Amino acid sequence: MKKFTESLGLAVFTTRYVIEQGAPILYVYHCNDGSWQFNGEESSLTDEDYRVISLGEVLAIDDTLNELINMPLGFEALRKTKNDKWEIVSSN
């Protein structure tokens, strides 16, 4: 399986639900500025819900994220459960 070419120390965004409660990552956004966001199924998130961790840490949580290494800027990946395949779509 291919792996991310970005540094595993790259800072990425996720939520406290993923880190503290073990919520599955079901939504990934590759922002236009090159940053990454990894969220669960939670809605109505506030700034206080977000956490910054390293790319290596998020890959340790869910190694299926390696399937998204070539996802272009401005695209998002979705799935209904952790066992589903990722669906990549344009966020525009």
**Tell me: the pLDDT tens digits for 10-23?**
899 999 999 999 99
Q: What is the pLDDT of residues 30-79, one digit of tens each?
A: 999 989 999 998 888 999 999 999 999 999 999 999 999 889 999 999 99
Asked if residue 42 belongs to a domain, the reply is yes
Question: How far apart, in whole angstroms, are the C-alpha atoms of residue 13 and residue 69?
Answer: 16
Instruction: Specify if 59 maps to a domain.
Output: yes
Q: Is residue 89 part of a domain?
A: no
Name the β-bridge partners of 37: 13, 29
Task: Decide if 65 is inside a domain.
Answer: yes
> What is the span of the domain harbouring residue 16?
11-81
pLDDT at 4: 66
* 77 touches 31 (CB < 8 A): no
Element (H, E) at 60: helix 55-61
Model pTM above 0.75:
yes
Q: Using the predicted structure, report yes or no on whether residue 3 has a pLDDT greater than 80.
A: no
Q: Cα separation of 89 and 3, whole Å?
A: 20
Work out how many domains the chain is built from and give that number.
Answer: 1
Terminal CA-to-CA distance of the chain, rounded, Å? 29
